[in-house]
A = this chain, B = another copy of it.
Amino acid sequence: MRQFVILGHDAPTTPDFPLDDITGGAGRLDVLCRCVNSAFFLSHDIREDVRVHLVLADEFTVTFEGSDLRRLNPDERSTAALIRNALDEREEAIGHMPVESSPGVSLTRRGFEPVLEDVAAESTVVQLHEDGEPVVDVSPPENPAFVLSDHHNFEADEADLLADAADHRVRLGPERLHADHAITVAQNYLDTGGYESY
């Protein structure tokens, strides 16, 4: 199982945003939608062994479960609609119990810390960092979890939590990448067994 946690600092926590303005009115939800695309899509296929957690403003988390996913399309707008549908269930999301809003998409009332705790309990947490070890020198873990931030940097307390939880600190290359591009590169790194097996 490959997991990706993405922090959406400006993301909406209510469903009253317009699908025609997801970059502005919905707090750069476009960034999170592209992350979902990068995590799941293969050409004419969906990666079933992937789980994605979008942490919305440290208040709610929308989780996409590859093995159960239906109705996911590659474009930003339709993914934003799935997130909006999940937020429609926010009154039902009590404690840490998930509410499924469509097949493979569920909402929980959790911020970053509890999500990271749950993920770290079952995965090898990989932190992407410009001072990290070159990823080519690190063997891919069996159950990796990559934690990424949206268009903002991690805040200090988030960075501390992540540093504590991380088993590896790696860099993907000499350039700083958008979160969705980093996910695509990480998937290719995992697909090729750390660039060893084609």
Measured CB to CB, the residues of A under 8 A from B are 20, 22-23, 30-31, 34, 37-38, 41-45, 73-78, 134, 136, 171-178, 181, 184-185, 187-188, 191-192, 195, 197-198
Contacts and interface: CB of A to CB of B under 8 A. Distances in A.
A74 B173 contact: no
Contacts of A187: 181
Contacts of A34: 34, 37, 74
Contacts of A177: 42-43, 184, 188
B174 A136 contact: no
Q: How many copies does the complex hold?
A: 2
Given A43-B176, A173-B198, A174-B198, A136 B76 contact: no
A38 B43 CA distance: 16
B178 A191 contact: no
A30 B74 contact: yes
Nearest to A136: B195
Q: Which of A74, A78, A172 has the most CB of B within 10 A?
A: A74
B191 A75 contact: no
Given A20-B20, A174-B197, A181-B184, 11 more contacts: A30-B74, A34-B34, A38-B184, A41-B178, A42-B178, A43-B176, A43-B177, A44-B176, A76-B77, A136-B198, A174-B192
